[in-house]
Structure 1
Amino acid sequence: MAITTTDPLLGRLVDGRYEIVARVARGGMATVYRAQDRRLGREVAVKVMHPHLAEGVEGASFVSRFRREARASARLSHPGVVAVYDQGVDGATSYLTMEYVPGTNLRGELQAGPLTVDRALDVAEQVLAALSAAHRVGLVHRDVKPENVLIDDDGQVKVADFGLARAVTEVTSTATGTILGTVAYLAPEVITSGGCTPATDVYAVGVLLHEMLTGSLPYPGEPPIQVAFHHVHEDFPPPSQRVDWLGADVDELVSAFTARDASRRPAHAGAALAAVVGLRAVLDDAVLARAADPPEPPAPAPEATDSSPEGIETVEPAQDAAVDEIPAGFFAEVSVRAHDTEHLVTSPARTLEHDSADAADSPGRPRGRRRLVVWLTVLTVLLGAGAYGTWWWFADGPGAWTTVPAELAGATQDDALAALTAEGLEADTVEAHDDDVPAGHVVTTDPVPGDPVRVDGTVTLSVSLGVLMLTVPDGLVGAEQDAASAALREAGFAVDEARTAYDDDAPAGEVLEVSVPEGSEQPHDTAVRLTVSDGPAPVRVPQVVGLGKDGAESDLSDAGLAVEYSDPEHSTDVDEGRVLSQDPEQGATARRTDTVTLTLSAGPPDAEVPDVVGMSSEEAVGALEDAGFDVDVNRYLGGLLDTVRFQDVDGTAAVGTTVTLTVW
């Protein structure tokens, strides 16, 4: 009878927002679902952590790391990286929301057989470009494998699960003393010490490249422990061992990426990417277009014979299982006792080869008995090594853990170093300015106080340098506003909106004052304000027409205006020496220190006085008035004859002068 298992999350609304539509994949730490984001109306992938990982003390630590690594991954913004949108907890469900990538993954593409050289290099370039973006911000992927290389419907590559392998490894290594990861892609340093650097990701890409070019991993069908032994103790086999037409330049690239000594690999994905681009540029088009023949399937494990131990079934683990466990430091030499005989063991492979050789050298020994002896020896060695390794791991090895002292934060650097030394921990120090923590005191630690750390581990102390002080530039007063603002920003200061002030001497836009002294040291978050000249203040021009020279100058000076004069002009209306006109006129708006031009009266002009002697009084008065003169008539004896006998002004005289006539 068929049994149908229903996923309880299908159809559920996670965190009131993400409607689970379908299950996409299930791995060692989480299940991935396709979901609909109801809030933004888009399709997303929701990664839900397996509940058992959140149980107990280690589970709480894992959940904390799960969130921290999710936040770190969210810092990445690169078209080749699966974007992380959100993370949270809904009841007992810890989840991560990511970009949904419709398509397949590299594992699915490899199922059709080896890739062409061009496609393999193209995939490697895209993976390395994504890893390079991570390495630049201090993130190491730690679990590069075909399952984490997603390929969309257009053939573009996106790398998933940045940083999440670290959260799993830290917690499970604390609890079980094992390193989690896909053994086939683990660099030697991960197996021997658990250490990871950007070169660790480069190693995994080298293994991927080998697999894409040849169609399989180097050690098909071997158990994970033996695969790990190969990685630690043997050089990675070149692709040309399987595909003889691949040239030495391809072998050299893969060998460089998979060097056992991490220092001999490209230091980071950016350097590795340059190497791949360089190789692709020198390969012939015919080589780039060629793909290897599909590899022969691995030989099946030998069937059990009658001489096999009864009831014992041997099963070979798959090399590319999703998650394989290897005891960290397994390949350190350990001394174990088996059947009262002490053996010095470096790996199960050495013991297996040794016992097999002994069996082959013993003539006449039944084949079944030899096989039984070999398997029992291997089993005994593995059990002994495992027991010793477990004890060593938790007692003295990397599996022995302590916690970061709680009193480090805020302590002086000397006190913090003493506390770490008392716990047997090493310390690194980095210095950073801090607005709140006094200089010489610890701001933060990595790991944080209370977090687990290996007994021989290192805690990084971030020690305060105090408030960051910046120097105010000199030469700001008298400079143009734009130049002064640029100098302040270059020095690291924020610049507040400038104030303006009228000034008779500084032109508009010139800095008059700075809110802090020039050349002084100020906290980095000080906002500096400039006072900038708006030029002289506006004034209304007073009326000075008709005033004498001294009076006009006094009134204009009181208004802050300067005076200049044009040439005097004659006027019959304004007395000589008084202001005849002004520019600007009365009531106009000007600025202090502006100049008002005055024109003074030169008095009436001179004119020829008509000779009116002998004329009648009427004729004489008319002639003189027409010439611009005033006339006063003095009639002698009543002026019976009405004839002008005398005039007191003749020749030339100022217009308006009074001419007196004597009329008889």
Structure 2
Amino acid sequence: MEIGQRINGRYRILKPVGSGGMANVYLAEDLILERQVAVKLMRYDFRNDESSIRRFKREALASTELIHPNIVSIYDVGQEDDNPYIVMEYIKGTDLKEYIRENYPIPYKKALDIMGQILSAVEYAHQNGLIHRDLKPQNILIDDDDYVKITDFGIAIALSQNSITQTNSLLGSVHYISPEQARGGMATKQSDVYSLGILLFELLTGNVPFDGESAVSIVLKHFQEPIPSIRESDPHIPQALENVVLKATAKEKEQRYQTVQEMADDLETSLSPERADEPKFIPVNTSMEETKQFQPISVDGDTASGKTAETTVIAPVPDADKVQTQPEENKKKKRKKWLIPVLLLLATFAAFLVFLLSGTDDVQVPDVSGMTEAEAVQALMQANLVLGETILESSEEVEEGRVTRTSPAGDSTVKEDAAVDLFISTGKETVEFQDYTGEPFEEARARLTELGFIVEQENESSDTVEAGYIISQDIEAGDEVVPEETTVTLTVSEGRAGFELRDLANYSLRGVQDYVRDHDLNVTVEEAHSDSVPEGQVISQKPEAGTLVYADSHISVVMSLGPEEIQYETIDVTVPIPYKAPEETEQDSSEEQPAEGENGEKENSGEPQETRTPNTIQIFIEDTENNLDSPYRELEITEDTEVTLNLTLEEGTKGRYRIVRDGETIIEEEVEA
């Protein structure tokens, strides 16, 4: 991966920060959220291995469910050019291995604080059904404030079940591997407890308890040699604290702490004065108590060579002093002189017979893969081999109850009577189904599909679950299922059950009230006049008819008050109309001005009114009853005349009148009610 390269168009690679057994880790910038993240990419030599890819994705998705302050957060999981990647929280600091190297010796309380954070995270993972399998200081990050974050939860399983040998990566893990894992057994919660005990040993001493030139030599020490005493390197360490290490690293997992929380509780009080006189914890190694001699499994009492294997047991000779009386002491001493060489000779001869009968020829381990356990045992017997341990393991290819492999492997060469371990299939690997109720359907569907499940969807309305979220699932949480063989149906909320609002036009108020009561609606009623809708019926509604509404929704209606009563007002207007003689010209009128009378008004010419030519007057009115298209009144005048006009108007409206004299408009005014 080159610096500056982008993953999924979003994560820009800044620099490499580390590498592991299956993946390389880079510091990157999230271009959308503008923050630094760590991107883990599967190594090139694993990209063509379908099993590794599937497990990488499966464990990565499982890790996204772990939300704990001491576990590195997983932000995103995806694939770029057939290369799976995980985007996680970037921790600015160092790993615990480097921290111990730089800070040893670490004060006891500081060591217990660091260990307490680790235990809290692992206990949380165990509660969520996830075993780490590869706990080591390289997978534990610590920042500048001594805050611990664990990473790589479960990724180690892909390496442990992969046919590719990663010697360098294994060397980093074998120092912390449990005896049962070293023997090829399945990892359990107690396997993580053992690794935690080794971590605590290293925090307190600065070193791992077992080291060697090869991974094999270190692995052998884990189940053959007792854990070294940490008090020999530091006598000031309380015995109670050493006991935590000893109990966590017991060879037999049944003698270890059964839960991480139990170990955390014991560790918390290990510096307490009340435990100062605590005796040393000495685990009982049942596997080392006695050496068992495997005998050839006979068919009808005979071995393959036709002879019955016999074992000669030489019992120790009782002390003659304890079975003879004192007077016989001299006889006993004489007998001892010739009895001891005879016994030695017999013992040597018996050992030689056992050697001859035991069979030292090389035989080939039969390939019993796919056989039932009974068939495999029969095949081993016929090959002059004995049954060792029977170990259960999951298998994607081998049917449940049949042999997946042997140790030593089939077709390999061993001595006669060698023990062969059988690995029996428990079927395809199962996962514990989680509780997805209350989660967004699309997110859950993506995760389940990635795990291999077939996901089906059913929709259902709900008043309590938000639309798009899961109401229920047809597989109970905690059930062990095989993802590739399982179809899960998720019931998804459509939100509250809605219905289309009816058209309430022309409903009476009583009808509206009945409708909202039957549908659990709330209503606001307003009133307005209407010329088209009869009084007491609905004029309009909000929301409109056909709108999707829900129980407790709010609607409003406007009820008709019928037509609004019009208020009219009569306006009286007195208008003076001046008389104008038709023959007058502008010049004449300027030369001959009538004399003013005594009251100051201009007097008409001395021409008698009856001889004057009358003006034809047309009066036009615009009100509620008249318009300006036809005359309201016509008259003739021979002198200045006042007329009173009556206009009928609605309140707030305007009217108009116009005076036309001899075809010429001389007055036009507006009137406001």
TM-score computed with the length of structure 2 as normaliser: 0.45
Higher RCO by CA contacts (8 Å cutoff, separation 6 or greater)? 1
Larger radius of gyration: 2
